[in-house]
Amino acid sequence: MLGTPGDGSRGTFRDTVRRAGARWARGVRQRWRTAPPQRRRTWGLTAGSAAAGLAVSLGAVTVAGPWDSGQRTAERTRAVALAADSGGRHTGDARPPRERQAPDPAPSARPVLAAAGDAAAVPTRAGLTAVLRPLLADDALGSTVTASVVDVATGKELFARDGGKPVVPASTIKLATATAALTALGPDHRLATRTVWDAAERRVVLVGGGDPTLTGERLAELADATAQAVRAQTLTPAALAYDVSAYTGAARHPIGVNPNIAPLTPLMINAARTDDSRHGPAPRAADPARATADRFADLLADRGVHTGEVREARAPKNAAPLAVTRSAPLSSLVESLLTHSDNDLAEALARHTARATGKPADLKGARAAVKDALRSLGLPVGDATFADGSGLSRDSEVPATFLATLLATAASPDHPQLRPVLTGLPVAGFTGTLGGRYDQAATDDAAGLVRAKTGTLTGVNALAGTVVAADGRLLSFAFLTTGTTAPRAAESALDHLATALTTCGCR
């Protein structure tokens, strides 16, 4: 018989409610995965507006994102307007949702846990050890496994297994890249692509601003505004130049030509993709800057401005401005970067961090700038190596404790500018690189409760994010593995670890 609170059957009642909530959530997840993108956006507007992320303020932990006073919600519109591929497959991070027939809409699930807060009991080291140690022994996790669990409200590390040991983080390093960019630039910063007039050479100059999110539509709008300015100022251009001096150094990532990342140039359309994809691996233009400039010349010609020759050249410092197009705010870019594990955006933001701090916008400058920005937050970066911004390099190494502490710092009321690091985390079973996971019997209770950044390279699997424990305590965690041989089995083992944190009080 179903127990009721206070009748001596509290555990039975909680378990029954949790199981009922899990069944309801499975229905929600099924509806979410099979709904078309437009319907997802509609649900996001109605149900996700209250799901703003995770924050700690006035000494209390307040959880949003997939929670509103202990309730699962569908997810924010900006973090979930994605196609069926769920993004991020460039490293195998995402498992495609299964095709199912869509029932009637239901954008959120009933409450199954208490609201998060610092009044909730703190898990003990012994309690966490008893729950996590057997799961960490899973052979699927490979030869090297490091772990850290941190209490977000206090910043105290509650559990660690070789937490201070630097290991390859794969795409979880994007958490560091995003945090550094927000620290150096601020959440309202936008990436600008401009046109200017070079009077000495009588030419329009298209100046790349390091915005891989530049679309064909925005480039056409820039052509509209540029043509209007040329006519208004009675200019007679003889040529079009394009300026890529915003970046220095090698034009290729150290991994070389690869469908997972475009050439490293500050001027490109849609991350230099030559197909219609938005996320994941894709064929890329060999010379994105030149391809973008050629297209811009055609757009200007369509508007009656004929520029003739197209060539690479640096804009003069005194060049007169003509027009500009700007990206979404950095807060939105960071959310997209983390949700879809966007390599191109990660490398761009690392270089913008370098530029903002007076360092060269190349690989070496980005490494130093990211580390300096993270150090300024008081994060334990001493043994960390940030070889790139995306995590494609195997030369990067960070400790699990560093990642878990970074996530707790992002929730701190002292750093509100870092909140997009939390709101951009994929939601288990719903969005981004976790959209096709947490659909098995052993883990689906955690769907909607775990928010985490994935990381996958051959032989490397990682998961770092936040969970609300059974009693309402907000925890950050990082589980990093090396030497794995079966990626799906490793992912499942990592998902079991995160699920365990949601179901235990661990005291």
* pLDDT single digits (tens) 240-258: 999 999 999 999 999 999 9
Q: Is the per-residue pLDDT at 473 higher than 50?
A: yes
pLDDT of 66? 38
Measured between alpha carbons, how far is 368 from 374 in angstroms, rounded to an integer? 10
Question: 454: burial class by Cβ within 10 Å (0-12, 13-18, 19+)?
Answer: buried
**Lookup result for tokens 């941190």:** 150
Over residues 154-159, mean pLDDT: 96
pLDDT of 118? 62
pLDDT of 35? 60
Over residues 482-505, mean pLDDT: 95
pLDDT of 81? 38
Q: Is the per-residue pLDDT at 53 higher than 90?
A: no
User: Choosing from 331, 336, 341, 476, which is the catalytic residue?
Assistant: 341
pLDDT of 9? 40
pLDDT of 471? 87
Measured between alpha carbons, how far is 443 from 466 in angstroms, rounded to an integer? 15
- Mean residue pLDDT of the chain comes to 84
Q: What token pair was written down for 96? A: 């495609």
> How far out from the chain centre does Cα 167 lie?
20
User: Choosing from 108, 148, 171, 390, which is the catalytic residue?
Assistant: 171
Contact 280, 83 (CB under 8 A): no
DSSP sequence for 410-450: HTSTT-GGGHHHHHTSPBTTTSGGGTT-S-STTTGGGTTT-
Candidate ranges 54-58, 442-446, 462-466; pick with highest mean pLDDT: 462-466
Question: 452: burial class by Cβ within 10 Å (0-12, 13-18, 19+)?
Answer: buried
pLDDT of 16? 47
User: Choosing from 86, 108, 174, 396, which is the catalytic residue?
Assistant: 174
Secondary structure of the chain: what % helix, strand, coil (to 5)? Answer: 40, 15, 45
Measured between alpha carbons, how far is 11 from 470 in angstroms, rounded to an integer? 12
Q: Is the per-residue pLDDT at 408 higher than 50?
A: yes
**Lowest-confidence range among 100-109, 285-294, 368-377?**
100-109
Whether residue 396 lies in the annotated active site: no
Contact 390, 177 (CB under 8 A): yes
pLDDT of 343? 98
Whether residue 9 lies in the annotated active site: no
CA quadruple 499, 500, 501, 505: dihedral sign: positive
Whether residue 341 lies in the annotated active site: yes
pLDDT of 505? 81
Measured between alpha carbons, how far is 480 from 152 in angstroms, rounded to an integer? 19
- Among candidates 149, 36, 47, which has minimal Cα distance to 427? 47
Number of residues that this document lists for the chain: 507
**Lookup result for tokens 């772990």:** 147
Q: Which residue has the higher pLDDT, 25 or 317?
A: 317
How much is the pTM?
0.82
pLDDT of 8? 40
Over residues 183-206, mean pLDDT: 98
Q: Is the per-residue pLDDT at 75 higher than 70?
A: no
Q: Which residue has the higher pLDDT, 196 or 74?
A: 196
Over residues 17-25, mean pLDDT: 53
pLDDT of 248? 95
pLDDT of 214? 98
Q: Which residue has the higher pLDDT, 443 or 118?
A: 443
pLDDT of 173? 98
pLDDT tens by residue, 292-339: 999 999 999 999 999 989 999 999 999 999 999 999 999 999 999 999
Helix (H) or strand (E) holding 46: helix 37-47
